[in-house]
Every structure is written in C-alpha cells, then in structure tokens.
Amino acid sequence: MAQLDNLAVVVHGINDLRLEKRPVPEPGPNGDRVAVEPGVPREIDEFCKIGRYNLSPTIFFCATPPDDGNLCRYYTHNANFCYKLPDNVSFEEGALVEPLSVGIHACGRAGVTLGSKVFICGAGPIGLVSLLVAKMMGASQVVISDLSTSRLEKAKELGADFTLQTSKVRPEEIAQKVEGLLGCMPEISIECTGVESCIQAGIYATRSGGTLVLVGLGPALVNVPIVNAAVREVDIRGIFRYCNTWPMAIAMLASKRLNVAPLVTHRFPLEQALEAFETTKKGLGVKVMLKCDENDQNP
C-alpha cells in the first residue's frame, strides 16, 4: 500500500480547494463495488429509530466541513452505508445515486403518484433528477422552468412535457403560464432553485389543497405569500437531503428504466479537480464528473 498515491481534493475554506496527497486508508472487512451514501448517523437517536436518520443533528456527512469528502483515490466508509452495485450499473451511475436520491426524497415528500401534474422550478441537476423521478413515479405531465434555455433543452431531452423560460416573468404570471400549459393548476410544485421569486411562484402555482416541496436552499429569510398558501391549504414541506433511497435508486438503475447518463456533460480526471469546480461555478453543462480511479476514466 505504501507506494500508492491517494490524491485528494480538500476544502480548506471558502474558495480554497487544494489537491493533496493523503495516506491510503486500510479498508475494513467486506469491500465490493459500491455506491456510498454520504450521510451516516453517529448515534441511534430518536430520528434514527424512526428511519429519518437524515435529520439526526450529529450525523456524519462525507462532504461537509469539518468532515472531509471522498474526492480521493482511496477512502474508507461505514460498510452499512455502502451499497453493492450490480454488474450492469456503472461507477458513474453509482455516483449519480446521490443527486438522484434528492429527487426521490423530494418526490416522495411531495406525494407524486399516478397521474400527478407537477411543476418543477429550476432545471439544474436537482430539478432534472426530480423530473426523472416524478415521471418514473407516474406523473402524467411535468412543467419545468429555468432561466437557461440550454438547461431547458436538457429537460426536454429527459422527458419534460413542457418547458418554461421565466426570465423577467413575475411569479403570478409564471403560475398562470404553468396553469395554461397543463390545462389546470398542478397539485404538486417542487422548488429547486432557492430563489425568493421562485418560491413565490411555487406557492401561486400550486393548486388549492396541493403540496409545494422546497428543495432549493437560498437565503435564510425570504418573503413569501404565506397567507395565500394558508387560505388555500397549500402544504409547504421541506427536504433535507434524503434517507432510505439508495436501494431503490440502485434497483431502478439496474432495471435500465431510469437513465441518468445524459446528466453528465463534462468529465475530468482527479488531477484537474480545480478546473472541474470552475466549470461548475461558471454554470457550464449539468453534472461535472470527477474520475478518481486512474483505470476508470471513460463513462
């Protein structure tokens, strides 16, 4: 092991990403081809007991300082949160189980079911996985909005029924346009930008008695038409990452009914990690994949 190089991307602070050589950790028993669920509860607390371990205040999250992530060649993780990949699921698909899980959790909390009409605000990676999952869970029609026409084109490619370019459109007008496209107001809206005007549009757009799920995380305080939501009994639900989603995500990928491959628009070897982050920062493409394994540089 001593001669192996464990190149790692480490966050030292805001705008301070560094490539470092770290020691190669020793794996525990039962290693395999796996996808890693990054959030691991540190204790069996009340949230863990009810299966909502993502809400545990002491959870270990591989990626969030002070815990380092796993952008490195070698990494050890709690075996209970490593999920074996079937032979027909690639490492790239395995890596995409994480964002896909956000979509699964969001659609689950939204109550998407057969025939649902859904409005998704934001066609970034998270809006797009929510689109894929909503369609898979039986949504009959999905409208997705964004400012970027290239992201909306990607949404079309992934199965969006309608796309809506919303620059300079007021939240109330967005709601009207969504209703016009669907022929009725959607019973579910999934907000995937965190932008104040989008949360407002999400409230206005959702049918009375329906559900708005807040996925996007923007400023801590936002102005929203809360009375409009209250008097129309629009439920507003948040999500925090995901829980219990890896097995179903992997099963869907293995079934080949769910295709996440088009989400990956750029690939970089680990050595070019800083360039990869710059690419994401510039808003280029959708998912930028870092290839950590020197022997696995192709999709």
When asked if residue 239 is in the footprint of ligand NAD (CB under 6 A), the reply is yes
Half-sphere exposure of 159 (CA within 13 A, CB side): 22
When asked if residue 63 is in the footprint of ligand NAD (CB under 6 A), the reply is no
Nearer to ligand NAD, 188 or 239 (CB): 239
When asked if residue 59 is in the footprint of ligand NAD (CB under 6 A), the reply is no
Binding mask 93-132 for ligand NAD (x = CB under 6 A): ---------x------------------xxxxxxx-----
d(C-alpha 283, C-alpha 279), whole Å: 7
Binding mask 125-154 for ligand NAD (x = CB under 6 A): xxx-----------------xxxx--x---
Residue 265's nearest CA partner among 151, 100, 131 is: 151
**Span 181-210, contacts to ligand NAD by CB under 6 A:** 192-195, 197-198
Residue 277's nearest CA partner among 14, 4, 3 is: 14
| Inter-residue contact 270 to 7 (CB < 8 Å) | yes
Q: Residue 165 CB, nearest distance to ligand NAD (Å)?
A: 9
When asked if residue 265 is in the footprint of ligand NAD (CB under 6 A), the reply is no
Q: Residue 242 CB, nearest distance to ligand NAD (Å)?
A: 7
* Two tokens, residue 273: 């990690």
When asked if residue 276 is in the footprint of ligand NAD (CB under 6 A), the reply is no
Q: Concatenate the DSSP letters of all residues of 213-265 into one string.
A: EE-----SS----HHHHHHTT-EEEE--S-SS-HHHHHHHHHHTSS--GGGEE
d(C-alpha 242, C-alpha 106), whole Å: 8
d(C-alpha 85, C-alpha 68), whole Å: 24
Nearer to ligand NAD, 34 or 129 (CB): 129
Q: Residue 290 CB, nearest distance to ligand NAD (Å)?
A: 15
Q: Cβ atoms within 10 A of the Cβ of 112, count?
A: 26
Nearer to ligand NAD, 185 or 199 (CB): 199
Q: Cβ atoms within 10 A of the Cβ of 78, count?
A: 14
Number of shown-chain residues binding ligand NAD (CB under 6 A): 26
Q: Residue 5 CB, nearest distance to ligand NAD (Å)?
A: 30
Using CB under 6 A as the criterion, which residues of the chain lie in contact with ligand NAD when the complex forms?
102, 121-127, 145-148, 151, 166, 192-195, 197-198, 215-217, 239-241
